[in-house]
Chains A and B, each alone.
Chain A
Amino acid sequence: MNSLDKLDYLTKVDSDHLNPTYRLEDPSKMNELAREIKREGWAQVMLVTGIDWREKLEVVYHFNKLNSQEILWIRVYLDRENPEIPSVTPIFPSANWHERETSDLMGIKFLGHPDPRPLLLPPGWKGDPPLRKDYKPSPEDYPWWKASERYYNPYNYTKIIKKLGPDEFLLSVGPMHPVLHGMWRLVFEVRGDTIVEAWPDIGWLHRGIEWLAERRRYDQIGIFADRLCYGSAMSWNLLYHYVVEKLLKVEVPNKAKVLRIVAFEMQRIISHLLFVAALAANVGTFHSMFLYPIREREKFLDLMEIMTGNRLLYTYGRIGGVAKDPPEYFYRKLKETLQDLDKHLPEYMDLTLSNESFLLRTEKVGILRGQAALDVGATGPVLRAAGIEYDVRKVDPYWGIDEFDFDVVVERDGDVLARYVVRLKEILESSRIIQQALEKIPDTPIRAKVPTFIMKAPAGEAFGRVEDPRGEAAFYIVSDGKGTPYRFRVKSPTFSNVATLHHMLRGARYADMSAIIESIDICFGEVDK
């Protein structure tokens, strides 16, 4: 920290949160600063956020660090008419997609970015950047009837990238394809059966969750948080309430905290079981292994139904607590189900890990490991499978999860098999956490005294992160003292992981494409937001 304090172009800003925050006065010094930050040992750019303050723009960078609770905030003011700042992507490759997204939605130019194509907006977008405060939507913004040819044709898409070799051809996979789990596209440059380059193309499912949230009351946004990911709605919903409670300075009762941990870890089990099933189905249409985990998942969905009343999108969190107190028989059933799960998981391991044909398809496939994985922005199980121990539950504990006894699962190979094993073992760790939580459910109210309708929030900022089943998820909420967030920013783990696909797929066989794509556990709602 000291060496950043010494820099003369950087001023320390006081903030109500405990993280080190600095303001950079001269944007052109950003490159120099990034090098200094890298030397300080900050690992990844977590998030790049543009904020439109009407008379000027601001960019906020969040950096994270392994084994440290702290997050580094760097804030830069930019001129609104000509917003330009040197890109940090050459130094922190993990900033790549975050900067492209900010460039799309806020109209900020990142000078020296290696790949400055639009990410979420279609090429041919004529309107203003959509998240600026003075943006007025109009049909002329995107005359798709003129631009479609340019966008849909993979040849035109990759002309922007590079020229093809004589024995190469392009294959557009998606936006509708059985393996992709959502609306997006991969453009492959293929030589024979080998993938030379892969270009993920997202933005087909962009629903403008951030834009919508900036026009809703704080108590209404939880429902949007659910819709970020159908695979783990609970984690997003609870994360939102975690962050908004930081903003409103609400203390959550102990029982609600424990219930949240139980619900959160149940969600992790549900999400990982779906992953285990889907991987088997995608690696060679293996439907036996698809259906067994789905059977276990079904039991947990039943439990979720008892707990929250819903099976997919739960909306269980409330500001200051949770929605419902589960009935007594819920705990009994949960215990039985967990025992069942502990019995069945070794069977799945037998069925796959001792199956030669499974190892043939997953071992040494889609390798991304060690420092390389950290640099390109991998997070969650993908990062832990790469041999790097990083779990927000240990690093930055929430709701007292550090009081529970559990291990961070780490594998070293960084291939599809390692990612599979990490998730399988994490199911067992989650099961351990829930079993401990069931032993000590405190007898307090489940909700703090908070008004149902939040008409006003104090001006300020809140940033909170949790370990989502897919990785490090965070919300960044800026309030100007009114009833709606001034800026609402989502840090999606899958967004970061999809960006790493470009590196994982390079040089792989085309037939391994399905296994590699599946191995990062895609949920497209949260990528496009």
Chain B
Amino acid sequence: MTESPIINTVWGFVVKLAEDLVSALELSGIAREGVILLVKSLGFLLLFTLNLLLLIYLERKVLGRIHNRRSITETGPFGTLQLIADFLKLMIKEDIRPFNADVLLNYMSAPLFVLAGFLALSVIPWADGASLIKVKYNLLFAVAFSSLIPGIVLLFAFPGQFSKYSLLGAFREGLKYLSEEIPLGLCVIAPALLARSLDMSTIVRIQEMIRLPFAVILPVGAVVHFIAMSMATGRSPFDISEAESELVAGWRTDITAMKFGLAYMLEYLSLFVNSAMFTILYLGGWAGPGDPLICFLVKVYVVMIANMVVRVTIFRPRPDQVISISWRYLIPLAAINVLWATFLLSILG
């Protein structure tokens, strides 16, 4: 079992802070556990937001490089403060609600998206066993919550915004949901079968043990998972539910101000969660030389940069073409992948 010095230092600080606070307040029982969890969660959120800022900055720079332009340069050194400025702008923007929109759903939808994303994130192990929440079947938990997001979109987009464009965007989100979740689910099954476990740490440990990432053993699954993952993040080229040039902004046409900021954050959150799961299932997670956390993050960032490159080289297919890509190619291939995994399991015992 490998320990990560970085996690020990940083996370140890957060845990110590929580315990100091609890002892200073002289709490006990459930209140004590609750406060500790609250402080831990806040610390985790803060650390992850830093990571997210890095991701957004990196994406803008990478896209700029491929587009043959300079991207952000003006605010702060190398444009690093641009994201803070964007965030502040979204904070102070006027909140506009469409006439006839349901007030509660309008306000609740964006925070719920982000909550579901964070719940999926909270069980992802950053190093062996190092996740915010310990759940026994954490793979199942992560898949469940990361696929909850489109469902929330479907339910909340129209009544919360009362706009035809949002409705069409939500319909398309539903179409995309059907075409992405089935191959994604099948691709998650195969490594779990091989590792005989629904625990992500165990899956990584098995890959560490056999000294091979599952991407080598299950190449079809890795490719299908990567494509289905691009669909699941809802970014171009598979951004049919947003489709700037057809539906203005899809299901978030009439979401404004900080609510929009949260919906925007969701995109990156979803990208990170999906890339992290891909890394764990197929690229051997934190296994590798050096600090496990660094190793894990490097792999995740490589996956995300690959996703960005796909994003800028492929045109957006039509919704019906997305469905046909999924049902004609991805689902059969994913099924073949599961059969292959079963076959391997039966001969290797």
Cα A357 to Cα B248 in complex, Å, equals 21
Cα A26 to Cα B168 in complex, Å, equals 54
Q: A357-B314, A513-B246 are in contact. Are A291 and B68 (CB under 8 A)?
A: yes
Q: A178 is contacted by which of B69, B164, B245, B318 (Cβ under 8 Å)?
A: B245
B319 within 8 A of A: yes
Per-residue CB proximity of A227-257 to B under 8 Å, as 1/0?
A: 0000000000000000000000000000000
User: Are the CB atoms of A361 and B316 closer together than 8 Å?
Assistant: yes
CB distance from B235 to the nearest CB of A (A): 10
CB distance from B208 to the nearest CB of A (A): 37
Cα A512 to Cα B312 in complex, Å, equals 20
| CB neighbours of B236 from chain A (8 A) | 284-286
User: Are the CB atoms of B244 and A361 closer together than 8 Å?
Assistant: no
User: Are the CB atoms of A179 and B245 closer together than 8 Å?
Assistant: yes
Question: Across the two chains, which residue of chain A brings its CB closest to B236?
Answer: A285
A261 within 8 A of B: no
| CB neighbours of B248 from chain A (8 A) | 177-178
CB distance from A503 to the nearest CB of B (A): 20
| Interface hub of B168, B237, B315 (most chain A Cβ within 10 A) | B315
A514 within 8 A of B: yes
Question: Across the two chains, which residue of chain B brings its CB closest to A355?
Answer: B315
Question: Across the two chains, which residue of chain A brings its CB closest to B313?
Answer: A288
| CB neighbours of B246 from chain A (8 A) | 179, 510-511, 513-514
| CB neighbours of B67 from chain A (8 A) | 287-288, 291
User: Are the CB atoms of B244 and A178 closer together than 8 Å?
Assistant: yes
User: Are the CB atoms of B319 and A284 closer together than 8 Å?
Assistant: no
User: Are the CB atoms of B317 and A171 closer together than 8 Å?
Assistant: no
User: Are the CB atoms of A361 and B315 closer together than 8 Å?
Assistant: yes
Cα A512 to Cα B315 in complex, Å, equals 13
A204 within 8 A of B: no
| CB neighbours of A510 from chain B (8 A) | 168, 246
A110 within 8 A of B: no
CB distance from B61 to the nearest CB of A (A): 15
User: Are the CB atoms of A282 and B319 closer together than 8 Å?
Assistant: no
CB distance from A239 to the nearest CB of B (A): 31
Question: Across the two chains, which residue of chain A brings its CB closest to B243?
Answer: A511
| CB neighbours of A292 from chain B (8 A) | 68
B239 within 8 A of A: yes
Considering only residues 68-116 of chain B, those with a C-beta below 8 Å from chain A are: 68-69
A360 within 8 A of B: yes
User: Are the CB atoms of A509 and B317 closer together than 8 Å?
Assistant: no
User: Are the CB atoms of B244 and A512 closer together than 8 Å?
Assistant: no
User: Are the CB atoms of A285 and B239 closer together than 8 Å?
Assistant: yes
Considering only residues 472-518 of chain A, those with a C-beta below 8 Å from chain B are: 509-514
Question: Across the two chains, which residue of chain A brings its CB closest to B240?
Answer: A511
A358 within 8 A of B: yes
| CB neighbours of B20 from chain A (8 A) | none
Cα A283 to Cα B314 in complex, Å, equals 10
User: Are the CB atoms of B315 and A358 closer together than 8 Å?
Assistant: yes
B2 within 8 A of A: no
| Interface hub of A284, A295, A355, A512 (most chain B Cβ within 10 A) | A284
B178 within 8 A of A: no
User: Are the CB atoms of A283 and B315 closer together than 8 Å?
Assistant: yes
User: Are the CB atoms of A512 and B245 closer together than 8 Å?
Assistant: no
Q: A287 is contacted by which of B312, B317, B318, B319 (Cβ under 8 Å)?
A: B312
Cα A15 to Cα B67 in complex, Å, equals 57
CB distance from B23 to the nearest CB of A (A): 54
Per-residue CB proximity of A152-194 to B under 8 Å, as 1/0?
A: 0000000000000000000100000111000000000000010
| CB neighbours of A193 from chain B (8 A) | 319-320
Question: Across the two chains, which residue of chain A brings its CB closest to B165?
Answer: A171
User: Are the CB atoms of B315 and A360 closer together than 8 Å?
Assistant: yes
A281 within 8 A of B: yes
User: Are the CB atoms of A286 and B318 closer together than 8 Å?
Assistant: no
Per-residue CB proximity of B184-219 to A under 8 Å, as 1/0?
A: 000000000000000000000000000000000000
Question: Across the two chains, which residue of chain B brings its CB closest to A510?
Answer: B246
Question: Across the two chains, which residue of chain B brings its CB closest to A172?
Answer: B164
Per-residue CB proximity of A413-431 to B under 8 Å, as 1/0?
A: 0000000000000000000
| CB neighbours of B168 from chain A (8 A) | 171, 510
Q: A295 is contacted by which of B68, B164, B313, B320 (Cβ under 8 Å)?
A: B68
User: Are the CB atoms of B69 and A286 closer together than 8 Å?
Assistant: no
CB distance from A283 to the nearest CB of B (A): 6
Question: Across the two chains, which residue of chain B brings its CB closest to A358?
Answer: B315
Per-residue CB proximity of A444-459 to B under 8 Å, as 1/0?
A: 0000000000000000
Considering only residues 276-319 of chain A, those with a C-beta below 8 Å from chain B are: 280-288, 291-292, 295
Question: Across the two chains, which residue of chain A brings its CB closest to B239?
Answer: A285
Considering only residues 308-326 of chain B, those with a C-beta below 8 Å from chain A are: 312-321
B10 within 8 A of A: no
| CB neighbours of A286 from chain B (8 A) | 236, 312, 314-316
B47 within 8 A of A: no
B66 within 8 A of A: yes
User: Are the CB atoms of A171 and B164 closer together than 8 Å?
Assistant: yes
Q: A360 is contacted by which of B63, B66, B68, B317 (Cβ under 8 Å)?
A: B317
| CB neighbours of A177 from chain B (8 A) | 248
Q: A288-B312, A291-B68, A291-B69 are in contact. Are A357 and B317 (CB under 8 A)?
A: yes
User: Are the CB atoms of A284 and B317 closer together than 8 Å?
Assistant: yes
| CB neighbours of B68 from chain A (8 A) | 291-292, 295
Question: Across the two chains, which residue of chain A brings its CB closest to B242?
Answer: A285
User: Are the CB atoms of A285 and B245 closer together than 8 Å?
Assistant: yes
Cα A288 to Cα B66 in complex, Å, equals 7
| CB neighbours of A511 from chain B (8 A) | 240, 243, 246, 318-320
| CB neighbours of B164 from chain A (8 A) | 171
Cα A282 to Cα B245 in complex, Å, equals 6
CB distance from A80 to the nearest CB of B (A): 46
| CB neighbours of A284 from chain B (8 A) | 236-237, 245, 314-317
CB distance from B66 to the nearest CB of A (A): 6
Question: Across the two chains, which residue of chain B brings its CB closest to A509?
Answer: B318
Question: Across the two chains, which residue of chain B brings its CB closest to A288?
Answer: B312
| CB neighbours of B318 from chain A (8 A) | 360-361, 509, 511-512
Cα A304 to Cα B186 in complex, Å, equals 58
Question: Across the two chains, which residue of chain A brings its CB closest to B314?
Answer: A357
Which 3 pairs of residues, A with B, have the shortest CB-CB distance? A284-B316, A284-B315, A514-B245
Q: What are 25 of the A-B contact pairs (CB < 8 Å)?
A: A171-B164, A178-B245, A193-B319, A281-B245, A282-B245, A283-B315, A284-B236, A284-B237, A284-B314, A284-B317, A285-B239, A285-B316, A286-B236, A286-B316, A287-B63, A287-B67, A287-B312, A291-B67, A357-B316, A358-B315, A361-B318, A510-B168, A510-B246, A511-B243, A511-B319
Q: A283-B316, A292-B68 are in contact. List 8 more A-B contacts (CB 8 A).
A: A193-B319, A284-B236, A284-B316, A285-B239, A285-B245, A357-B317, A360-B321, A514-B246
